[in-house]
A and B are shown apart, each in its own frame.
Chain A
Amino acid sequence: MKAVLVQMAPRLGDIKTNLNRHLEFLDRARKDKADLVVFPELSLTGYSLKDLVPDAALDAAHSPVFKEILAAGRGMSVVVGFVEERDSERGLFYNSAAFLADGKVLHVHRKVFLPTFGMFEEGKFFAQGRNFRPFKAPFGKTGLMICRDFLQYGSSYLLFAGGAEVLIVISAAPGRGVAGPGGFETSHMWELMGEAMSYFSTAFVLYCNRTGSEDGVTFAGGSFIYSPKGERLARASDLDEEVLSCEFDMGLVRQVRKKWTFKRDERPEIILHSLERIVRRYED
């Protein structure tokens, strides 16, 4: 299994240019015999769209943009980030990730946790997704998350409980903090989460972040892949555009789960029961 993480800097609000770059990267990945190509969060549009969100919205089912990506990605699995507005839900804009394979859109995840604090204002411009649902990808059961989703405790758990063997996180994470020895301090946090979540889930974690800057904010890069036993398999540079390519054996999930029985011993019904109690007793 060969995965390619395209750590790129999309051009803000310019779908045409971004689409062309996606097609070029897909072409290269095909020559590189990739099975999976992952682009960052909002890879087709850029991140800080604000009031441009409605202008950048696409319906994955009908958009000519998706037809071109599907054609260029034939024979591979592809994850792209985009602003989603379905014909059936006009006027609702989601920060979404589409998983494309076998010439069709296999799954769309809508970002659930929209950061809206400090420098972040996604809740002002996007509608909130409501689901974490693993799906069957050509290489195994897979779950998608978008940036902040991955930092919220429950997201990875739900995908793990649903049977995911691969967790794919697409991100537009700005770098913050320069006191540490390496790159941005926040990059270190993402890696810790990647290591922990791959361990907890005995699953592969693929994290594809973007680079470049928008409105003075520098996106940190530092994309990575962790194995189901918390081992870092690959890591991209901090600030540069980079195509991170990594081969791994999906059989490792089975091998690790023989040793670490977290999945076997998991009891979602107990979690659900306890959650129901907690939710029922919610008080202000």
Chain B
Amino acid sequence: MKINSAFVEKVLTRFIHDELAKFGFTKGVLGLSGGLDSAVCAVLAARALGEKNVLALILPYGTAFPADIKDAIGLARTLGIRTKRIDITPQVDAYFRRYPTKSRLLKGNKMARERMSILYDFSAREKALILGTSNKTELLIGYGTIHGDMACAINPMGDLYKTQIRELGAYLGVPGRILNKQPTAGLWPGQTDEGEIGNTYAEIDAVLFELADQRKSRSEIIAEGFKAEVVDKVISLIKGSEFKRKLPPIAKISSRTVGHDFLYPYDWDK
């Protein structure tokens, strides 16, 4: 679970730089929330591409999280990256006026997809690729909105657990305020990831590491002293979210089908 942060920084900054270069881009755009993951991604992007080549979109819904906006702006200023603040309230509210709901989850998903839609629009306007900020914990347990915050052009963060991102963030000099903040998807005031999932990231990551990285079985992990209910919950979250990690299945009827046996590298002709 420990990482060599200096080496990881080197690999990831190179990855960001080279991936963009391959596709003919010099600029990157990302959503900056004021939380840890996007802060770490912003630092890596600034170092990989140069601060002038990074655009951070700050996309709040109303004024529910003033501290996060302040932290996002403060970090961007320290890094010297460009920012643009766009309030997503009008379009989100307009939709829910027509199709009202009491579900905070539906509202949260809609907000995530509005942000995605703005990121892709600015990706085209600015000729900048979208840097994803979903971490390995979120990807494995499916704690993210499909086609929302999970959408991106490249994801430098996706093979690092939340606890590893905190370690990397500390090494990179992410401000303590952001580093020690309670992780939240910002779905509603007072919401925290750990409160919503019901376990701490430390607990979840430890189980995920055993399951995914060490490829241990449920019984082996429980025998090591992990609580059965936590292990079972994590396994069920992983299984229940596989659809978020794959392109949708295509019904195969021909002899060569996209997604089945039409197999070209992502970097084709790049």
Contact = CB atoms under 8 A, between A and B. Distances in A.
B15 interface: yes
Contacts of A51: 262-264
A213 B10 CA distance: 13
Contact of B265 (A180, A212, A214): A214
A213 B15 contact: yes
B265 A178 contact: no
A181 interface: yes
Interface string B246-270: 0000000000000000111111111
Nearest to A181: B4
Nearest to B18: A213
B262 A178 contact: no
Nearest to A212: B18
Given A50-B265, A214-B265, A216-B266, A178 B7 contact: yes
A49 B265 CA distance: 6
Interface residues of B, number: 22
A239 B270 CA distance: 20
B65 to A, nearest CB: 32
Interface string B64-92: 00000000000000000000000000000
B260 to A, nearest CB: 12
Contact of B14 (A49, A52, A239): A239
A218 interface: yes
B15 A48 contact: no
B64 to A, nearest CB: 35
Nearest to A49: B265
Contacts of B3: 178-179
A163 B70 CA distance: 70
Contacts, number: 59
B2 interface: yes
Contacts of B265: 12-13, 48-50, 52, 214-215
B14 to A, nearest CB: 6
Interface residues of A, number: 25
A134 interface: no
A43 B8 CA distance: 26
A175 interface: yes
B44 to A, nearest CB: 14
Contacts of B11: 175, 178, 218, 239
A12 B270 CA distance: 7
A183 interface: yes
B267 A178 contact: no
A215 B23 CA distance: 12
Contact of A12 (B2, B263, B267): B267
A144 B37 CA distance: 45
Contacts of A181: 4
Interface string A158-202: 000000000000000001001111111000000000000000000
A235 to B, nearest CB: 16
A52 B264 contact: yes
Contacts of B10: 238-239
A114 B7 CA distance: 29
Residue of A178, A213, A216 with highest tally of chain B CB at under 10 A: A178
Contacts of B14: 213, 218, 239
Contact of B267 (A182, A184, A215, A218): A215
B203 interface: no
Contacts of A213: 14-15, 18-19
Given A178-B11, A239-B11, A13 B4 contact: no
B216 to A, nearest CB: 16
Nearest to B11: A218
Interface in B1-56: 1-4, 7-8, 10-11, 14-15, 18-19
A214 B262 contact: no
B15 A50 contact: no
A180 B1 CA distance: 11
Given A12-B267, A180-B4, 5 more contacts: A178-B7, A179-B1, A179-B4, A218-B11, A239-B10
The 6 closest A-B pairs by CB, nearest first: A215-B266, A50-B263, A48-B265, A51-B263, A12-B267, A178-B3
Interface of B: 1-4, 7-8, 10-11, 14-15, 18-19, 154, 262-270
5 contacts: A50-B264, A51-B264, A178-B3, A178-B8, A181-B4
